[in-house]
Amino acid sequence: MPVSSAYRPEPRFFDLGGEYGDAVRPADFPQTILRYRNDRAAAQVGLDTLTPDEWIAHFGRFEPLPGQPGAVAMRYHGHQFRTYNPDLGDGRGFLAAQMRDSSDRLLDLGTKGSGQTPWSRKADGRLTLKGGVREILAAEMLETLNVPTCRILSLIETGEDLERGDEPSPTRSVVMVRLSHSHVRFGTFQRAAYFQRADQIETLIEHVRSLYHPQVAPGDAPGLLGAVVAASARLTARWIAAGFVHGVLNTDNLNVTGESFDYGPWRFLPHYEPGFTAAYFDQFGLYAFARQPEAVFWNLTQFAGCLKLVADAGALTQALNGFGAAYIAELRAAFLMRLGVRSLGEAADQRLVDVSLALLREGGEAMRWEPLFFDWFGGFASSERALRGPRRDLYQGEAFDAFRFALFEHEPDRPERLEHPVFAAAEPEEMRIDEVEAIWAAIAADDDWRPLRAKLERLAAVRDALA
């Protein structure tokens, strides 16, 4: 049996029809070499029982899974660096399938590098192997840090040599499959609004409401906006607490469920640097680390503008303006989670956020982002471990005293987690660019996948420790 009893197909986006996507054929690749298979994610949707040949058939040649109608390239527009582009859409990927997971969420199987579509705009529709490896690393690290994220399900090398201007060429190619909680983007609504299709906006509202935000009443566009605002605030706060820079926060890269996806030029902060950017082409720092909340809010205003075709502008504005308070509340919760302590109330929790950022700022390059949260996880329960560790000399002075006082006000949350072997290590698992490049160099030079596998095993241990 190719799929398990946990597999529950439910291809709901396909029901919307041809005005929302185009049926496409995947590329015919010269080779299909399996490089990465995420059985942990596959098990959640009943696909972990696929044999190696079946896996290649469904995720390399894209033979439809049972109960799935075939591939569709989704239609959408978007603001790219705040310039509107009506010529977007799935240009090198498609929606391959939808199914329910073990938590009854509707999930998508979306591709990247699967060939040209009507929206490719002269591009080759392919993905580099390095790009696929980087997507795996970003998604795995974000999941480890409890950031809502897609998961990379599959990576299959395709035997084509690609020419790229921003990396050594020719370079190896791959087709990727991600498991994501909706690929309906803000830009999906923007396309309908661009053509003044109020009927399509209403259809999309009901589609998104019923499948992803069922607590919202039918027809309640401001209520749906409020739900998307809340989910987006949570995502943004967790990016910040993780020290993550997405790199390209265009309206076609944000979805209606508040789940992070599409990892191109991402980076994790080496240390506190508000103006840190991930994309070399972000010359004005539009999507810099500290500007991400601003960028997400700007994108939400574009989404809200689409809904004005069918809803009262005043009610939409009220829902949109809830972002600021939601983001601050989510940031407090995210910092508490990262430090492994319990809430003491809004004022005390905010003080802990403020002094944590102050300590990171005062510490400069020596105070790396991730080690602070690792050293002091559990608050007072980690004080001896932190003050005997490799960064003990950094933990002194007024900024540190303020941090320690605020942290020790809070009780540890499940301090037994500190007994996990992960916390016996001197250093945390990070995702700095030099390690990312070293992992890729081993693959590029010697086809050595061991450093990638070892990194993923270590991240799995951290997830187990923080569970």
Q: Is 407 within 8 Å of 379 (Cβ atoms)?
A: yes
Name which of 59, 34, 82 is nearest 286 in CA terms.
82
Q: How far apart are CA 370 and CA 176, in angstroms?
A: 29
Contact predicate 299/203, CB 8 Å: no
- Nearest Cα neighbor of 72 from 44, 104, 94, 42 is 94
Tell me, rounded to whole angstroms, the distance of Cα 306 from its chain centroid: 24
Q: Is the dihedral of CA 422, 425, 426, 431 positive or negative?
A: negative
Q: Is 252 an active-site residue?
A: yes
- Residue 304 structure tokens: 């809200």
Q: Which of 252, 262, 282, 375 is catalytic?
A: 252
- Short-list 363, 298, 304, 292, CA closest to 334: 292
Euclidean distance between CA atoms 260 and 147, whole angstroms = 8
Report the distance separating Cα 289 and Cα 356, nearest Å.
16
Nearest Cα to Cα of residue 79 among 161, 175, 187: 187
* Residues classed as catalytic: 252
